[in-house]
A = this chain, B = another copy of it.
Amino acid sequence: MTRPRWLDSEEKAAWNAFLEASHRVERRVEHHLREQEGLSHPQYEILVRLADEPEWQLRMTELAESLLTSKSGASYQIGKLEKAGLVYRSSCPGDDRGVFAVLTEEGMAKLRRVAPGHVELVRSSLIDLLSREQLAALTDGLDTVARGLED
């Protein structure tokens, strides 16, 4: 067992800033969507993912991977959205195991209604807090991290 390579003060600062910023932002977004729009953040993200697809649909597994969540978690949330009429499940032609989650018109309408407030919140929680240069540098770092942790 080699001696641990402890974090120096800059590295500690980086880690703490990362944890604090991500928790604060997540907390804020979750709270806003919940209170103002009656959606959880995962649910909102599902609507966004589906709306981005040409046919407003995604396989359950693809959806779960896109959300970085478990399959059971995706299944649960799709169930909720289905009850709310924002999404429905559709069988997958050519693969009887498969299930598509499909955005309904009502789901798309909901998303359009909610998006402006959400974008405003994203601005006030991240974008508008930083200069253009800070934002670019932040994106660079975060992207490098995200790419480094893929799979």
Contact = CB atoms under 8 A, between A and B. Distances in A.
Interface residues of A, number: 50
Nearest to A148: B129
B119 A6 contact: yes
Interface string A114-127: 01100110110111
A136 interface: yes
Given A68-B20, A127-B7, A25 B145 contact: yes
Interface of chain A: mostly helix, strand, loop or mixed? helix
Given A4-B115, A6-B119, A119-B6, A126 B24 contact: no
25 contacts: A1-B116, A4-B120, A10-B132, A10-B135, A10-B136, A11-B135, A14-B135, A15-B126, A17-B138, A17-B139, A17-B143, A18-B126, A20-B68, A20-B146, A21-B22, A21-B146, A22-B22, A24-B149, A24-B150, A130-B141, A130-B145, A134-B141, A135-B141, A137-B137, A138-B141
A105 interface: no
Contact of A127 (B14, B119, B132, B134): B14
Contact of A13 (B137, B139, B141, B149): B139
Copy number in the complex reads 2
A25 B141 CA distance: 13
A135 B142 CA distance: 10
B126 A14 contact: yes
